[in-house]
């Protein structure tokens, strides 16, 4: 699901126009990003927590020429869902069946 579909679904379920929903969703995403850029965690009750995960710099080996390559430190966004959003046994079974088909 991408943002366009998300906005359309929210509009359908709430009887608001898509442009109205988009006027709320855009600032919501911007505010989450702003908080993360400032090093803050974003905790949304009954949904989950967005935070930054820092990765240390490391040295690895290039697979083709076997030379050592320095990988700089970086940060990535991590999301931890609340228990409410943990997959059920039914969902896990469905996903494993789909994975076996591939």
Tokens 């469905």 correspond to what residue?
94
State the pTM of this model.
0.69
Per residue in 18-31, pLDDT tens? 999 999 999 999 99
Say if residue 102's pLDDT is above 80: no
| Alpha helix segments (H runs only) across the chain | 3-14, 18-37, 89-101
| Predicted confidence band of residue 90 (pLDDT cuts 50, 70, 90) | confident
Per residue in 35-78, pLDDT tens? 999 999 999 998 899 999 999 999 999 999 989 999 999 999 99
Per-residue DSSP letter, 86: S
């Amino acid at each position: 699901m991408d943002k366009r579909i998300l906005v359309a679904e929210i509009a359908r379920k709430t009887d608001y126009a898509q442009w109205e929903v988009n006027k709320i969703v855009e600032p919501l995403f911007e505010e989450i990003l702003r908080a993360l850029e400032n090093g803050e965690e974003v905790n949304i009750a009954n949904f989950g927590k967005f935070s930054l995960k820092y990765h240390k710099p490391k040295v690895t080996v290039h697979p083709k020429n076997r030379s050592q390559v320095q990988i700089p430190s970086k940060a990535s966004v991590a999301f931890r869902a609340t228990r409410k959003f943990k997959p059920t046994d039914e969902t896990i079974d469905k996903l494993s069946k789909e994975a076996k088909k591939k």
